[in-house]
Amino acid sequence: MKIGDLQALIEKMYSEKDRQRGTPATFLWLCEEVGELAAALREGTQEQKHSEFADVLAWLATLANINDVDLTHALEMKYGKGCPGCGKLVCTCDSKP
């Protein structure tokens, strides 16, 4: 499944509820799912990791939908020509914090 396909699927399945919930509550759901992903990465099974990665992507797509952001376009604009920092396809930015 491509990012645009995911975003369209989430829009079709949940758009009415998502828009009623609004951005602040949806962002909190995304944060909760990131926490669940962190737990799965730390001590979960491979199946749990798959599930939590999917949940994070779905909630990110939801947040993008209710804020009229096309994720494919956003990704192409930011990363389509390489690293946003150095502009190269293989990043040569200094990795120090």
Q: Is residue 31 one of the residues assigned to a domain?
A: yes
Domain residues for the domain of 46 are 3-79
CB contact at 8 A, 20 and 49: no
Number of H helices, E strands in the chain: 3, 0
Cα separation of 26 and 40, whole Å?
21
> In degrees rounded to 5, what are phi and psi of residue 94?
-65, 125
CA 63 distance to own-chain centroid: 9
- By CB neighbour count within 10 A (0-12 exposed, 13-18 middle, 19+ buried), where does 20 fall? exposed
Q: Which CATH number fits the domain that encloses residue 49?
A: 1.10.287.1080
Read off the pLDDT of residues 53-93 as tens digits, 9 standing for 90 and up: 999 999 999 999 999 999 999 999 999 999 999 999 999 99
Q: 96 falls in which pLDDT band (50, 70, 90)?
A: low
* Confidence (pTM): 0.89
Q: How many domains does the chain have?
A: 1
